[in-house]
Each structure stands twice: as C-alpha cells, then as structure tokens.
C-alpha cells in the first residue's frame, strides 16, 4: 500500500534544518525509489517551513516507519509524524509534478 508521511516540526527544527540539510537531502536522494515526492510545508511564501510531506512508494507500513525514522531530520529534530494510507482518486489519469 502507498503511504503519505505528514511531519510536524518541533521548535528546534530551524537549527536542525540548517545543520542537517545536506544529510537529509542525501538520504532523500539515496531513497528516491521509495520516497517518491518530498518537501517542506509552510503557511505562505515568507513563512518558515513548519512541516513536511512525503509520498512513499507502495510498501508495508513497517518499512515506511523505518524509512521515516532513519531520516536525519527525524533523528536529530524530534520531529513527529503520522502515516496515512493513501489511495489516488482518478486512477486512470497519470500525473507528473
């Protein structure tokens, strides 16, 4: 099943992002076949990032948890998250971002 990981950043995340961004981006790159889309969320163009979102390839929930919890941002940022099983509406329409 496909999963969405929705992250909620802790108050220390601005410092964590600054320090661990290269390791986080390398982690995403190394797992690009399993983390299909990843990015930060913020309330507007001038706001700081305060959350994040991943769209994961189909995998068992246990693998999704392991993937999330090995990310440098999660390890060093005490970042909370929720995993949601996701089913795409309009399955017959392909989407490229």
The yes-or-no verdict on residue 91 having pLDDT over 90 is: no
- Share in percent of the chain as helix, strand, coil (round to 5): 35, 25, 40
| pLDDT in the model for residue 39 | 95
What CATH class has 3-85? alpha beta
pLDDT in tens, 69-84: 999 999 998 789 999 9
pLDDT per residue as tens digits for the range 18-73: 999 999 999 999 999 999 999 999 999 999 889 999 999 999 999 999 999 999 99
pLDDT of residue 87: 86
pTM for this structure?
Answer: 0.90
Per DSSP, the three-state class of 11 is: coil
Selection from 73, 70, 79, 54 nearest residue 16 by Cα: 73
What residue spans define the domains of the chain? 3-85
The CA–CA distances, whole Å, from 78 to 9, 36, 86 equal 8, 23, 25
pLDDT for res 97: 74
Beta-carbon contacts of 59 under 8 Å, excluding residues fewer than 6 positions away, are: 1, 3, 34, 67
Instruction: Tell me the β-bridge partners of 21.
Output: none
* Sheet strands side by side (includes 80-85): 35-41, 51-56, 3-8, 80-85
């Amino acid at each position: 099943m496909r999963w969405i990981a929705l992250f909620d950043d802790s108050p220390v995340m601005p410092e964590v992002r600054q320090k661990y961004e290269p390791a986080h981006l390398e982690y995403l790159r190394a797992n690009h076949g399993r983390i299909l889309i990843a990015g930060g969320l913020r309330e507007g163009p001038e706001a700081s990032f305060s959350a994040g979102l991943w769209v994961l390839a189909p995998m068992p929930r246990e693998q999704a948890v392991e993937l999330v919890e090995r990310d440098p941002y999660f390890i060093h940022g005490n970042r909370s998250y929720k995993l949601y099983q996701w089913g795409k509406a309009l399955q017959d329409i392909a989407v490229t971002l």
